[in-house]
Amino acid sequence: MSKIDMPEKNGEQGDAERIAELFERTSRALRCVKSHKLKPIAFDLTLAQGRCLRMIKRHQNCTLRELSGHLGVRPSTACELVDRLTREELVRREQNAQDRRIIRLSLAPKGQRLFAKHKEERRRHLHTFLDRLTEQQRKEMLKALETLNDVVQQVESEK
């Protein structure tokens, strides 16, 4: 849908709706292309396994129960995901020295390398879009994204 196809709305409410629509459409387009272009480096991971890896990276040294909460799944489901990722040497389980019942999860070196490579590929992919912008457009986008990031952080800190 082009700029012409979008219904005109007046005022701040119309601007907010237009921003939301463009943000969603742009995010969806980047996700679709990204997932297709970056799939070969993912070692044939399922979406659930990829999400599990991201949560372990974000919440280093979490327990299986904590991970299941972050993922919104039953602990048995999280355990199955972690078992596969451990067999693939992407995740490491470490027992607590004081309480052997506590097992902490972290990315193994192979998992860390996977994330580094994925980040590099994601950045390279994003540059295919950003390189088409003028210097002025990039500066304007940077300022807008920094402002949006500040607002997101403020809202998150109020929770």
Residues 6+ apart with CB under 8 A from 94: 61, 103, 104, 105, 106
Is residue 81 a contact partner of residue 48, using CB atoms and an 8 Å limit? yes
> Does residue 131 lie within any of the structural domains?
no
Q: What is the pTM of this model?
A: 0.65
CATH number of the domain where residue 103 is located:
1.10.10.10
* Domain that includes residue 51, residue range: 45-107
Asked if pLDDT for residue 106 goes beyond 50, the answer is yes
Asked if residue 113 is part of any domain, the answer here is no
> Do residues 109 and 101 touch, judged by C-beta distance below 8 A?
no
- Radius of gyration in angstroms for the set of CA atoms belonging to the chain, rounded to a whole number: 20
More confident residue, 30 or 76: 76
Q: What is the pLDDT of residue 127?
A: 87
Residue 103 lies in a domain: yes
Q: Is it the case that residue 58 has pLDDT exceeding 80?
A: yes
Q: Residue 1: its pLDDT value, please? A: 42
Is 140 within the bounds of a domain? no
Mean pLDDT to the nearest integer, 58-64: 94
The pLDDT score that the predictor gives to residue 39 is 53
> Do residues 128 and 118 touch, judged by C-beta distance below 8 A?
no
How much is the pLDDT for 57?
A: 93
